[in-house]
Structure 1
Amino acid sequence: MTKSQITNSRVYIAQIPEGVAPNKSHFRTVTTTEDKPELQEGSIFVKNILFSLDPYIRHDFAEGAKEAEVIGFGFSKVLESKNPKFHVGSSYFFGTLPWSSYSVLRPQDLGETFNIDSIDKDVPLSAYSGILGASGLTVWDSINRVADLKKGETIYISSAAGTLGQLAGQIAKRKGLRVIGSAGTDEKVAYLKNQLGFDAAFNYKTQDKREALTAAVGPQGLDVYYDLVFDNTVEIALDLFNPHGRVVTVGLLAGHKGGELASPKNIVHLLLKQIRWEGYTVFEHFDQFENFWKEVTPLIKSGEFKYTESVVDGGVEDIAETYLRFLEGAYQGKVSLKFSDF
């Protein structure tokens, strides 16, 4: 390999039939030796160093294509730049990146990539892929913009032991709500109650969801369902809602795992109880990062907001397997893969 060449590994995903959970056969890692790219004005060439593993990954298939590169959130460092906003070697960036060793980010790609030279050095870099990253912004902005939380209300959070659920519960507690969560292991349930201060939590894999949630909600009724799964749980919530309840759907975990999506038979409750059901995605609200960091970073540093994370060392060839294990619930909290050669 000469100085003008690089060894680059990329992860590709095959088209997955509807209703099928992703598995190893759907992913392929390809390693090539190639010339360093010639950059156009406004572009940067980066070495990727850490990938945020989230249920959501993007895969844009060209017409007739059977596989595509995987796009997710990640961190990188600039190796070459023709963009005055991004300086070689001195900056960290995070945004949407392909699962690869190196990437070229064109001007049109940089709208979703952020220069975070000013990150707080007292906070681990990995936190900016989770509780202080797009996941954290999703929770903070959706709760402030959509959920309309009121002191004394009851909120239920599905998949509550993940990055989004952990932060949603703590923000809700801070606002004076009664917080109920569910998770997939007894250890995670204990963490929600004993460490994060949830008022109630249950194991959705070993308990009947309707019975467990009904018992946890009790006669007070339910006011907000913070939905990270988009499965039939919403049908249970609709039955338990007080008038003027809110469903805030921000996750699609059931779909990412090949499960059946929500199709509530009792959707008439939206009318009868005057319930508001609204979906939220973060991509239109990246302009709120500075406001989000200003409010939440001090709470992270002081320990008022707690979080767990699993940072896995590896290479590009390990991303797909780590992602699949993450979908199976093998890790607690935010899951990231950090390149072991960084």
Structure 2
Amino acid sequence: MDTQTNFSSNLQPITGYGVAKVLDSAHPGFAMDDLVWGITGWEEYSLISDPKNFFKIQHTDVPLSYYAGILGMPGITAYIGFYELCAPKKGDYVFVSAACGAVGQLVGQFAKLHGCHVVGSAGSPEKVDILKNKFGFDEAFNYKDEPNFDATLKRHCPEGIDIYFDNVGGKMLDAVLLNLRPHARIAVCGMISQYNREQPDGVQNLSLMVSKEARMQGYLATNYYHLYPKYLETILPLIKESKVVYVEDVADGLENAPKALVGIFSGRNIGKQVVAVNCL
């Protein structure tokens, strides 16, 4: 057997959320020249055999790249996690980790619009400045400068935390558990600090979920796509009235996609990482 040939024949492109134009379609819901968003390959042309989670783009008076971010999966992820899972109340104390990312930046802004006090963590002084001066967070800190997350949270969240939107897991989650207010809610959106670890960090403080009568829930945005039309009705006016802003980090050219992906795990991107293929 030619092992090199066998290996090559099994190669498949990486997939991810993208914006595309339909060149040909045998599906009654999509026609040639329709613009759509959904999971595509990292390639200039993709054959989509199952378009059930593809959405036709009806509003083109906003940047098309937004449908890979604020108007796509990250946007509805933020919306569902904050509003549906965390049931915010005016005056709640909200903490968002990885707050400068594709989802976190929206959760913080939704919380401010809802009348909450919002604190975020990020991985550089530049990102901390963006959180406070562009997204309107009340407080923010660079987690890389903080040797003791519990002390940091007590300093920035002296009243405790009603809602934690978790994007990182690990030691930050463990510290948040020490600072929960009664009946706190935790939306587990992601745990990026743990994905590439051979030995994940242990969480030691789960018993506090009992004494605080807290609730923690993970979720998949795809299970809530039936609420996407409702989300669009909410978010589009906020974008057009500049009540919500969105930051993107654009890599130009498909050849730069691998480098852009790797950069996410070290926090090199600022905002939603997108790759412009320039074929629409």
The TM-score with structure 1 as length reference comes to 0.75
Tell me, in whole angstroms, the C-alpha distance in 1 between the residues paired with 2:53 and 2:194.
Answer: 24
Query: Following TM superposition, by how much is the alpha carbon of 1:96 offset from its aligned partner in structure 2, in angstroms?
Result: 1.2
- Structure showing greater radius of gyration is 1
1:285 aligns with 2:224: yes
SS of residue paired to 1:205:
helix
1:111 aligns with 2:49: no
Match of 2:29 in 1: 85
Deviations 1:160-189 (A, max 9, x none): 011211110011111111101000000110
Aligned 8 A contact 1:235 1:266 in 2: yes
Q: Report the residue type matching 2:54 in the other structure.
A: T
Deviations 1:179-231 (A, max 9, x none): 0100000011011111211111100011232222110011x121111101122
SS of residue paired to 2:157:
helix
Q: How many residues align?
A: 273
Tell me, in whole angstroms, the C-alpha distance in 2 between the residues paired with 1:225 and 1:328.
Answer: 22
SS of residue paired to 1:110:
coil
Q: Report the residue type matching 1:333 in the other structure.
A: G
Tell me, in whole angstroms, the C-alpha distance in 2 between the residues paired with 1:260 and 1:233.
Answer: 16
Tell me, in whole angstroms, the C-alpha distance in 1 between the residues paired with 2:179 and 2:195.
Answer: 26
**Structure 1 or 2: more strand by fraction:** 1
Q: Report the residue type matching 1:243 in the other structure.
A: P
SS of residue paired to 1:232:
helix
Query: Following TM superposition, by how much is the alpha carbon of 1:330 offset from its aligned partner in structure 2, in angstroms?
Result: 1.7
Deviations 1:74-133 (A, max 9, x none): 1111112111221112x1111112222221111xx21111111x11x3211111111111
Which residue of 262, 273, 279 maps to 1:335? 273
SS of residue paired to 1:104:
coil
Tell me, in whole angstroms, the C-alpha distance in 1 between the residues paired with 2:201 and 2:223.
Answer: 24
Aligned 8 A contact 1:156 1:180 in 2: yes
1:240 aligns with 2:183: no
Q: Report the residue type matching 1:338 in the other structure.
A: A
Q: Report the residue type matching 2:145 in the other structure.
A: T
Aligned 8 A contact 1:232 1:261 in 2: no
C-alpha distance 314-130 of structure 1, shift in aligned 2 (>3 A): same
Tell me, in whole angstroms, the C-alpha distance in 1 between the residues paired with 2:123 and 2:134.
Answer: 17
Equivalent positions of 1:1-342 (< 5 A) are 69-89=13-33, 91-106=34-49, 109-116=50-57, 118-119=58-59, 121-208=60-147, 209-218=149-158, 220-258=159-197, 261=200, 263-315=202-254, 317-342=255-280
Q: Report the residue type matching 2:36 in the other structure.
A: F
C-alpha root-mean-square deviation of aligned residues, in Å? 2.0
Query: Following TM superposition, by how much is the alpha carbon of 1:260 offset from its aligned partner in structure 2, in angstroms?
Result: 5.5
Deviations 1:3-61 (A, max 9, x none): xxxxxxxxxxxxxxxxxxxxxxxxx9x8x9xxxxxxxxxxxxxxxxxxxxxxxxxxxxx
Tell me, in whole angstroms, the C-alpha distance in 2 between the residues paired with 1:322 and 1:196.
Answer: 23
Aligned 8 A contact 2:44 2:279 in 1: no
Percent of residue pairs bearing the same amino acid type:
33
SS of residue paired to 1:234:
helix
The TM-score with structure 2 as length reference comes to 0.91
